[in-house]
């Protein structure tokens, strides 16, 4: 006998699909099948069942080998490390639930940590741009029900957000968009003819790193002013034409991703894209949305927003919150040797930070809380495996459009494994003891 | 002979699937320990498809397998899926925004037939210990 | 004017946050009091005297106080932050936020400074004899009120994002600048005596940028108007005048649309 | 639970009709009791001090998505104003949009114990509840917005009152909401196409219904259900010169409708931040105050209550579900603009704004707000708000008290205006010498809002049986004082009790309290059609499934459910 659980939320990307169906054994201990998920999401659920999964904390030994330790020992090491550090970095917070993020925030407050999340290497520069110019946006349902002009700028949902195009952006038939794909014009701006570009009506193969110039040109084109013959490798005729396509729509949406947030100009590229969206609202309705990566990176920005007032890179070391990307961001802190201990939860900087930063983690007292074995666990002194959020434990997560959805527990974690929340609350209690607060 | 190309990184479905299946597994190396080159650049490099190459920038060096661009053409632009291999060579400068310059790093690519592509864990461990050439 | 000399004797394990190094904080204090002023390393509070030897004495008021800093200050933040008057001389490199939110007085750095020098500067003079980092004379995150007044002079090069959201005052760079100059500016004057890369005057509403050397890529939002003969920072020459950012909003005065002005020197 | 006896204070309580007489107040088991009911109480000597019930805020934007946008996109709002953690107080930041922690503490410091979140987008209810959960001390509830909701538009277009009511009951339960909020009825749906509804007869694109039909229908549905609070509206055409006629037209939609509620309120319409809706003229050049016309109507119609939306002359952050208005505002001041349209339901916008005493219009707005309160015949129906943070941050309430209680302080402010004479010409305030007393202030900040919310059985007074919410202020009304003494004293309560727990002792926060979240659970007759419609819309148009929509209980760790039976 098996049970089918419906309306399951996928804890992979910011698309946060909530229509998955998961088949589990009737004792709820085994996850057997996953339906409606993309290849990546399905793999994430199934990996929780891996036979070779690490289920107990480990500490790196002098000779480089791992020694299994108890959760109590891991909690003690973590609490002492955080309590003794002058300025610990507490990084990650994206592949976990908001409940754990809130607990981690209280912990960070008490130890005077710098809290940073994966936005710092993803959409942090978008957040900077939003602080400079704002962001006219909407929920994904507005796109589904109204949008007839879709732009993907420097993002490739076909690979990074596999169900985005079918659920929200290109193909769905909504209230005012009964024709689905036929009723929409799709423009892709990318230095590569990506698989997303292949389903678009127009692909502008922008010269890599010249997005700001091209966005700047769109604003000139909207006003019907003169353009140079070629901008960022795109002939002006194509720019005028694309600008006209956007102005002539009823509802235009621009989705953007790492292609602009990580290329030369960074926050300025987003700033200009948002300016383009503002401009379009003079002629029609337009919105813009970052294609958030981790399924709950948005949530950590929300939790820190209401607790501290900043969405990432929050420096609590002086007893109050400060924020300035470039100073209080994880990679700048590591490269400049501004932190003396590293705590990682719900992210893999070992794989996704430039190596110069990874080396600094290796050189410091460090703890990685992660269900997986990763390059981060490989360079940290202690690895604490935990239950998978969204699979073995529920909790709140925020979609890329900031819509909060409660993820579900579908199977039991392996015997005796802690969740992020359990581990953090134990560390918090121990730190309070040590600090006498 | 060596070629100069503009390196970008980013997600691919294979990177995503293999990452979720376990970064310690060979599939992850197969998906991310690669560099996608345009046919034109392969010609310049004078290498066959699926040859190991050494990618070197001002910031580091890594051995990956050269494969043909899956989402091309993009002559002059090379692509390594996001992950530890790409991160050995990307430009870490954040321009005081917190964001390393993951996309748009000038690199040279040399044929390195006999050098192995390390697994993700081996790669970071050896590099941290300074054991990596 | 009285002079108090601070010589760094211990380097901080991490970085030292010393917003207290300013004539406003030191004026009228005895040396013992100055030694006891708070500085911070991460969450730890220390005494200024734990890191600096102090000699000489400050004046009774900020205006009468000159601070001379000696030694390697490349791990010291916030020197001269919010200062209103008096003088600071830094003999060496300094870290972030030198002269940030400065309102008056004078800071001279005989070395390089890191990012965010002169953030949100309102007045006074900031002189950097070496190179400046990113976000020189820029606005704090999210603030539309960047540099409002005063003057920043850099002998060497400057990084990216010079004069973001600049509303007034003047920035003169002796050498080259990195990308993004005068972004969102609504006033003020930026002079670049060396070369510039790209994104000059992006989303600029008003203000002036002068470039003596090359510009790698001109924004499409800037259009050539005419050649003009002008004198800039003591240099007479012929400049090509561009106006922009065309795509951005602009005020009208007497029916005339006011654009940002970008002058590039024409090699004689 | 500890017993308390607050002795010898000058008590101001509209519920008991005490107008500053010396009286004792006793608290036991979280409630106010007869003074002889406490055996060995902890005695608080309030001699020479002012004693009032805990304040009740009927309209404030303190929790939820747009509030958090305001926080996250304004780092400059926190620069140099942060408060370090201290004792039991966690760190607190933000001036115009404070963190949830600071929100709770700052309201408590002003002697407030109940604060209603004025606009909750249903799809974001979970977020709103997460923020309220993390707001210490205060009892809170949130108003889901209905005025642009597709279900409501479609039902009311066909005059389906029962279905509208059944849907309201369902959505209040799904979102754990407190009341029916309406923001720019029809206009925000129109904004989804970049349009607006500028008056109550301006049809909503596609849906073929007018704002007037939406408002009237929602009032009737609200009374059909007999909810604790009335329909709570932010009308069309906010913030535009000449808009007072739209406001009067909106008022008139309530004519002839009587409250059908067991919760003791007399109004069927609460119109919020009326200051923003009381403008004459036809441009910013000739805009003037129509507070007289507005208050003439309010004073003569007792089925309406209003709140002020007082401009405090600060730099602040505007945020509203009135999407088109925020776009209009960013076009005026060119500052950063955030917008968030919400599928099938609503929208919102956020823009920073600087109310400068050097700008004529800002000074006129300041006058209008005060005029509304000073022209009020019945302070039980006109409440003090700043529509926080839209007209200014709530921490300015004590300053508004000063302006209302002291003509001298108003004169001082007039003298500080750059265009004093032009402002005086365009307004009535200079000719008003009324000075409110603390009894009237208690009506506008305690008894009045509690009654309008249908919560007179819990809050707003000091009668035995009510919640043990009591504030003691270091202010002696019987001794001479300078205007600024008012602001100082009421910004910093000496003692505060919330549900019988001492929160502030000698001006110091000593407890994070036991905050509750209020929501309304309405029983209605089975309505299969509405449930079919709900299922169908979620299948076809929403991007979350129906089963992932409802806010589950654990987001409200300490809920207080108000049961309503509308099955008869």
For the stretch A244-290, pLDDT in tens is 999 999 999 999 999 999 999 999 999 999 999 999 999 999 999 99
Residue C152 pLDDT: 98
Question: What's the maximum distance between 2 C-alpha atoms anywhere in chain D?
Answer: 67
Q: How many domains does chain D have?
A: 1
Residue A1 pLDDT: 84
**Measuring CA to CA, how many Å separate A229 from each of A238, A239, C120, C220, D311?**
10, 10, 38, 10, 51
Last residue of a domain, one of A267, A290, A313: A290
**Residue A53 covered by a domain:** no
Verify whether the Cβ–Cβ distance B103 to A208 is below 8 Å.
yes
**Residue D187 covered by a domain:** yes
Q: Is the dihedral of CA D123, D129, D135, D137 positive or negative?
A: positive
B1 has pLDDT over 90: no
Residue D383 pLDDT: 98
User: Do residues A105 and A241 both lie within one domain?
Assistant: no
| Residue owning tokens 């402002």 | D423
D-interface mutation test, from A267, A287, A306, most D Cβ less than 10 A away:
A306
Residue D269 pLDDT: 98
User: Do residues A112 and A8 both lie within one domain?
Assistant: no
**Residue A241 covered by a domain:** yes
For residue A135 the two structure tokens come to 């962001």
Cβ of B7 under 8 Å from any chain A Cβ? no
User: Do residues A192 and A277 both lie within one domain?
Assistant: yes
Residue A361 pLDDT: 98
Q: How many domains does chain A have?
A: 3
Residue D424 pLDDT: 98
User: Do residues A176 and A273 both lie within one domain?
Assistant: yes
User: Do residues A385 and A345 both lie within one domain?
Assistant: yes
For residue D376 the two structure tokens come to 């009020």
Residues A98-137, buried b or exposed e (16+ Cβ, 10 A)? bbbbbbbbebbbbbbbbbbbbbbbbbbbbbbbbbbbbbbb
Pair A155, A259: CB distance under 8 Å: yes
Verify whether the Cβ–Cβ distance B96 to C178 is below 8 Å.
no
Verify whether the Cβ–Cβ distance C144 to D335 is below 8 Å.
yes
Domain containing A112 equals 58-120+295-435
Last residue of a domain, one of A290, A318, A342: A290
pLDDT bin (cut points 50, 70, 90) of residue B133 is low
User: Do residues A188 and A302 both lie within one domain?
Assistant: no
D170 has pLDDT over 70: yes
Domain ranges of chain B: 3-127
> In the predicted model, what is the mean pLDDT of residues D556-562?
97
H or E segment and range at residue D115: strand D112-120
List pLDDT tens digits, range C193-239. 999 999 999 999 999 999 999 999 999 999 999 999 999 999 999 99
Q: How far apart are CA D353 and CA D315, in angstroms?
A: 6
**Residue A52 covered by a domain:** no
User: Do residues A211 and A322 both lie within one domain?
Assistant: no
What is the CATH architecture of B3-127? Beta Barrel (2.40)
Judging contact as 3 or more Cβ pairs under 8 Å, the answer for B and D is no
Helix, strand or coil for residue B68?
strand
Classify the complex by whether its ipTM is higher than 0.95, answering yes or no: yes
* Nearest CB partner across the interface for C249, out of D73, D76, D334: D334
User: Do residues A358 and A252 both lie within one domain?
Assistant: no
Q: How far apart are CA C93 and CA C110, in angstroms?
A: 7
- The residues pairing with B81 across neighbouring beta strands, listed in sequence order, are B10
Verify whether the Cβ–Cβ distance A351 to B23 is below 8 Å.
yes
D410 has pLDDT over 90: yes
> In the predicted model, what is the mean pLDDT of residues D154-160?
98
Flag the least confident range among C264-268, D160-164, D222-226, D405-409: C264-268
H or E segment and range at residue D489: helix D483-490
Q: What is residue D145's DSSP assignment?
A: B
A-interface mutation test, from D62, D72, D78, most A Cβ less than 10 A away:
D72
* Nearest CB partner across the interface for B11, out of A47, A159, A191: A159
User: Do residues A208 and A311 both lie within one domain?
Assistant: no
The count of CB pairs under 8 A between chains A and B is: 187
**Residue D481 covered by a domain:** no
* Nearest CB partner across the interface for D79, out of C140, C144, C249: C140
Residue A437 pLDDT: 87
Cβ of A192 under 8 Å from any chain B Cβ? yes
**Residue A233 covered by a domain:** yes
Residues D536-567, buried b or exposed e (16+ Cβ, 10 A)? ebbeebbbbbbebbbbeeebbeeeeebebebe
List pLDDT tens digits, range D216-255. 999 999 999 999 999 999 999 999 999 999 999 999 999 9
Residue A327: its chain C contacts at CB < 8 A? 96, 115-116
Q: Give the predicted TM-score (pTM) of the model.
A: 0.98
Pair C199, C219: CB distance under 8 Å: yes
Degrees, nearest 5: CA angle A100-A103-A109: 140
Residue D553 pLDDT: 86
Q: How far apart are CA A83 and CA A70, in angstroms?
A: 20
Q: How far apart are CA C218 and CA C239, in angstroms?
A: 15
Q: How far apart are CA D193 and CA C255, in angstroms?
A: 32
Minimal Cα distance from D75: which residue of C? C142
Q: How far apart are CA D469 and CA C53, in angstroms?
A: 56
List pLDDT tens digits, range C37-69. 999 999 999 999 999 999 999 999 999 999 999
Ranges of residues in chain A with a pLDDT under 50 are none
Q: Which residues 67-126 of B have a C-beta within 8 angstroms of A?
A: 69, 71-74, 77, 79, 82-84, 87-88, 90-92, 94-104, 120-121, 123-125
Residue B71: its chain A contacts at CB < 8 A? 156, 192-195, 197
pLDDT bin (cut points 50, 70, 90) of residue C268 is low
| Residue owning tokens 């502030």 | D504
**Residue D252 covered by a domain:** yes
Minimal Cα distance from A210: which residue of B? B104
Domain containing D163 equals 128-448
The tally of CA atoms less than 13 A away on the side-chain side of residue B11 is 26
For residue A163 the two structure tokens come to 């169900």
3-state secondary structure A77-137: HHHHHHHHCCCEEEEECCCCCHHHHHHHHHHHHHHCCEEEEHHHHCCHHHHHHHHHHEEEE
Helix, strand or coil for residue A425?
helix
Mean pLDDT estimate for chain D:
97
The count of CB pairs under 8 A between chains A and C is: 101
């Amino acid at each position: 006998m098996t049970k089918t659980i419906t309306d399951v939320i996928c804890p992979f990307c910011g698309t946060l699909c909530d229509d998955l169906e998961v088949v589990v054994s009737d004792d709820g201990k085994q996850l057997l099948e996953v339906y409606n998920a993309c290849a990546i999401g399905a793999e994430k659920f199934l990996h929780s069942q891996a036979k070779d999964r690490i289920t107990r904390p480990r500490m790196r030994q002098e000779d480089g080998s791992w020694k299994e330790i108890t959760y109590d020992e891991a909690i003690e090491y973590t609490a002492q490390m955080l309590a003794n550090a002058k300025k610990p970095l507490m990084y990650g917070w994206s592949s976990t639930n908001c409940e754990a993020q809130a607990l981690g925030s209280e912990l960070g407050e008490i130890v005077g940590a710098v809290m940073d999340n994966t936005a710092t290497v993803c959409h942090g520069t978008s957040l900077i741009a939003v602080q400079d110019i704002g962001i006219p946006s909407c929920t994904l349902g507005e796109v589904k029900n109204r949008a007839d002009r879709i732009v993907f700028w420097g993002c490739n949902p076909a690979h990074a957000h596999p169900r985005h195009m079918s659920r929200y952006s290109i193909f769905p038939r909504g209230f005012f968009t009964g024709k689905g794909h036929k009723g929409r014009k799709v423009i892709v701006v990318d230095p590569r003819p990506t698989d997303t570009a292949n389903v678009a009506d127009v692909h502008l193969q922008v010269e890599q790193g010249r997005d700001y110039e091209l966005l700047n040109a769109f604003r000139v084109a909207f006003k019907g002013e003169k353009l140079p013959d070629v901008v960022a490798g795109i002939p002006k005729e194509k720019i005028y034409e694309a600008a006209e396509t956007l102005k002539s729509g009823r509802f235009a949406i621009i989705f953007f991703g790492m292609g602009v947030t990580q290329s030369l100009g960074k926050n300025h590229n987003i700033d200009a894209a948002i300016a383009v969206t503002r401009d379009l609202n003079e002629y029609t309705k337009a919105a813009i949305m970052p294609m958030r990566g981790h399924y709950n990176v948005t949530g950590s920005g929300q939790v820190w927003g209401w607790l501290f007032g900043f969405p990432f890179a929050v420096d609590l070391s002086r007893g109050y919150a400060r924020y300035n990307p470039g100073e209080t961001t994880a990679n700048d802190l590591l490269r400049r040797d501004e932190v003396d201990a590293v705590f990682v939860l719900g992210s893999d900087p070992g794989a996704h930070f430039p190596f110069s930063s990874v080396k600094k983690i290796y050189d410091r007292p460090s703890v990685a809380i992660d269900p997986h074995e990763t390059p981060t666990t490989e360079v940290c002194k202690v690895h604490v495996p935990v239950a998978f959020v969204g699979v073995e434990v529920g909790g709140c997560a925020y979609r890329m459009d900031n819509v909060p959805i409660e993820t579900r527990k579908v199977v039991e974690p392996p015997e005796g494994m802690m969740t992020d929340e359990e581990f953090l609350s134990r560390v918090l209690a121990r730190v309070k003891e040590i600090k006498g607060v | 002979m060596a070629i100069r190309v503009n390196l970008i990184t980013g997600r691919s479905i294979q990177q995503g699937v293999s990452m979720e299946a376990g970064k310690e597994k060979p599939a992850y190396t197969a998906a991310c320990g690669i560099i996608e080159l345009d046919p034109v650049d392969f010609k310049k490099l004078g290498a066959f498809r699926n040859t190991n190459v050494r990618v070197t920038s001002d910031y580091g060096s890594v051995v990956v397998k050269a494969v043909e661009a899956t989402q091309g053409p993009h002559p002059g632009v090379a692509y390594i899926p996001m992950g530890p291999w790409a991160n050995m060579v990307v430009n870490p400068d954040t321009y005081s925004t917190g964001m390393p310059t993951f996309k748009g790093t000038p690199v040279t690519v040399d044929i390195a037939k006999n050098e192995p592509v390390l697994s993700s864990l081996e790669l970071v461990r050896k590099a941290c210990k300074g054991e990596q050439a | 004017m009285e002079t108090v000399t601070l010589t760094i004797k211990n380097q901080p394990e991490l970085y030292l946050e010393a917003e207290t190094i300013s004539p406003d904080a030191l004026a009228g204090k005895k040396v013992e009091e100055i030694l006891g002023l708070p500085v911070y390393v991460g969450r730890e509070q220390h005494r200024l005297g734990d890191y600096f030897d102090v000699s000489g004495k400050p004046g009774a008021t900020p205006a009468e106080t000159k601070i001379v800093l000696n030694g390697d200050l490349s791990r010291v933040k916030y020197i001269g932050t919010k200062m209103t008057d008096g003088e600071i001389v830094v003999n060496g490199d300094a870290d972030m936020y030198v002269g940030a939110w400065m309102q008056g007085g004078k800071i001279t750095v005989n070395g390089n400074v890191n990012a965010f020098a002169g953030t949100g500067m309102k007045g006074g003079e900031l002189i950097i004899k070496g190179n400046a980092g990113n976000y020189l004379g820029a606005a704090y995150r999210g603030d539309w009120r960047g540099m409002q007044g005063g003057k920043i002079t850099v002998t060497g090069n400057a990084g990216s994002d010079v004069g973001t959201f600049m509303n007034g005052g003047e920035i003169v760079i002796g050498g080259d600048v990195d990308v993004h100059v005068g972004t969102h500016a609504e006033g003020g004057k930026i002079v670049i005596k060396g070369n510039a890369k790209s994104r000059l005057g992006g989303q600029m509403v008003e203000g002036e940028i002068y470039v003596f050397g090359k510009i790698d890529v001109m924004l499409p939002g800037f259009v050539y108007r005419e050649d003009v003969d002008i004198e800039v920072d003591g240099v007479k020459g012929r400049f090509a005048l561009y106006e922009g950012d065309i795509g951005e909003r602009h005020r009208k005065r007497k029916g005339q649309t006011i654009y940002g002005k970008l002058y590039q020197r024409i090699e004689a | 639970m500890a017993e308390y006896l607050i002795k010898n204070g000058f008590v101001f309580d509209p519920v008991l009709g005490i107008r500053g007489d010396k009286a004792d107040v006793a608290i036991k088991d979280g409630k106010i009791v007869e003074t002889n009911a406490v055996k060995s109480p902890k005695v608080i000597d309030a001699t020479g001090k002012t004693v009032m019930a805990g304040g009740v805020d009927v309209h404030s934007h303190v929790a939820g998505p747009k509030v958090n946008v305001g926080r996250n996109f304004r780092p400059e709002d926190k620069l140099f104003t942060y408060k370090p953690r201290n004792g039991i107080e966690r760190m607190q930041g933000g001036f115009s949009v404070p963190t949830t922690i600071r929100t709770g503490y700052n309201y408590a410091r002003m002697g407030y114990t109940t604060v209603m979140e004025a606009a909750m987008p249903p799809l974001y209810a979970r977020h709103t509840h997460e923020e309220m959960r993390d707001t210490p001390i205060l009892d809170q509830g949130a108003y889901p917005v209905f005025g642009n909701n597709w279900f409501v538009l479609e039902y009311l277009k066909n005059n389906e009152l029962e279905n509208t009511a059944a849907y309201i009951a369902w959505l209040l339960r799904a979102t754990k909401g407190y009341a029916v909020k309406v923001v720019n009825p029809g206009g925000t749906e129109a904004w989804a196409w970049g349009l607006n509804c500028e008056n109550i007869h301006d049809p909503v694109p596609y849906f073929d219904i007018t704002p007037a039909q939406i408002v009237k229908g929602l009032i009737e549905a609200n009374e059909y259900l007999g909810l604790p609070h009335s329909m709570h509206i932010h009308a069309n055409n906010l913030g535009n010169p000449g808009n007072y006629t739209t406001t009067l037209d909106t008022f008139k939609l309530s004519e002839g409708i009587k409250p059908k509620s067991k919760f003791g309120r007399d109004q069927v319409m609460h119109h919020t931040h009326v200051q923003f809706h009381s403008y004459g003229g036809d441009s910013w050049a000739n805009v003037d105050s129509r507070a007289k016309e507005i208050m003439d109507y309010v004073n003569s119609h007792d089925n309406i209550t209003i709140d002020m939306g007082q401009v405090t002359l600060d730099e602040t952050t505007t945020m509203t579900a009135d999407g088109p208005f925020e776009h209009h505002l960013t076009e005026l001041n060119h500052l950063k603009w955030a917008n968030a349209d919400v599928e099938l339901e609503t929208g919102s916008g956020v823009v920073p704004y600087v109310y400068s005493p050097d700008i004529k219009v800002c000074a006129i707005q300041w006058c209008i707000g005060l005029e509304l309160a000073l022209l009020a015949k019945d302070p039980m129906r006109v409440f003090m708000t700043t529509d926080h943070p839209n007209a200014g941050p709530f921490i300015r309430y004590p300053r508004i008290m000063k302006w209302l209680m002291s003509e001298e302080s108003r004169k001082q402010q007039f003298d500080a205006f750059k265009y004093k004479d032009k402002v005086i010409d365009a307004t009535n305030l200079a000719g008003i010498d009324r000075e409110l007393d603390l009894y009237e202030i208690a009506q506008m900040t305690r008894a009045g809002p509690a009654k309008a919310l249908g919560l007179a059985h819990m809050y707003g007074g000091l009668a035995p049986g009510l919640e043990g919410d009591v504030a003691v202020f270091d202010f002696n009304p019987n001794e001479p004082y300078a205007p600024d003494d008012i602001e100082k004293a009421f910004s910093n309560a000496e003692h505060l009790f919330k549900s019988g727990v001492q929160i502030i002792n000698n001006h110091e926060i000593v407890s994070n309290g036991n905050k509750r979240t209020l929501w309304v659970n309405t029983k209605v007759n089975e309505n299969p059609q509405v449930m079919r419609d709900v299922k169908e819309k979620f299948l076809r148009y929403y991007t979350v499934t129906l089963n992932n929509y409802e806010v589950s209980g654990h987001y409200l760790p300490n809920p207080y459910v108000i049961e309503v039976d509308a099955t008869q």
